[in-house]
Amino acid sequence: MNAIARYFSDFFRGIWSLMLGMSVTWKELWTKKVTRQYPENRETLVISDRYRCELVMPHDDNNEHACTACGVCEMNCPNGTIQVISKTIETEDGKKKKILDTYHWDLGMCTFCNLCVLTCPSDAIRFDNNFENAVFDRNKLKQVLNREGSGLREKKKPIGQPEPSAGTV
């Protein structure tokens, strides 16, 4: 008797689920459809700020960027689309310093997971909303993000604040 009751219970639950799905389909059938007329509507096209399209390295007016060539973004990239090539220079003080030589990014291999942007300690890279990246040659998807002759943006100390000494916290 228990098996028969369970059979009918499952049967009517299945019918209810089917009717619920059909009601959603029936309502969707009568809603007004919206067609975006791309590319004619480029001027009015609105793309969400959270949409990840293209990785960029912002440069300021002096052609300087914030990348310190630490390689954290390269280590956290799950499929190896980022390659940070650094070089060591000697500063005026005689100290050796690692600086960014080239920053390679392969758009064709990128999964747009945002791990590189989230883990960058200096906020040197971000995703932009330029989504028109269709090309005929896959080699054009490989990009160098740092500009020719660009340098590291120096961190400026706030004016009027004394430097913290080694003994204070």
What is the tens place of the pLDDT at every residue in 85-122?
999 988 888 888 888 999 999 999 999 999 999 999 99
Beta bridge partners of 56: 126
Residues of the chain with pLDDT under 70: 1, 149-150, 153-169
What confidence score (pLDDT) does residue 157 get? 45
Q: Is residue 133 part of a domain?
A: yes
Q: Is residue 40 part of a domain?
A: no
Residue 29 to residue 24: CA distance in whole angstroms: 9
- Asked if 84 contacts 74 with a C-beta cutoff of 8 angstroms, the reply is yes
User: What is the domain range of residue 69?
Assistant: 54-152
* pTM for the model: 0.67
What confidence score (pLDDT) does residue 169 get? 46
Nearest in space to 65 (alpha carbons), one of 2, 153, 162: 153
- Among all chains, which residue has been given the structure tokens 């309502």? 27
Residue 52 to residue 113: CA distance in whole angstroms: 9
Q: Is residue 61 part of a domain?
A: yes
- We report the CATH number of the domain holding residue 119 as 3.30.70.3270
Q: Is residue 24 part of a domain?
A: no
Q: Is residue 1 part of a domain?
A: no
Instruction: Count the domains in the chain.
Output: 1
Residue 95 to residue 92: CA distance in whole angstroms: 7
- Asked if 75 contacts 120 with a C-beta cutoff of 8 angstroms, the reply is no
Residue 153 to residue 62: CA distance in whole angstroms: 9
- Asked if 82 contacts 104 with a C-beta cutoff of 8 angstroms, the reply is yes
Quote the longest CA-to-CA distance of the chain.
Answer: 91
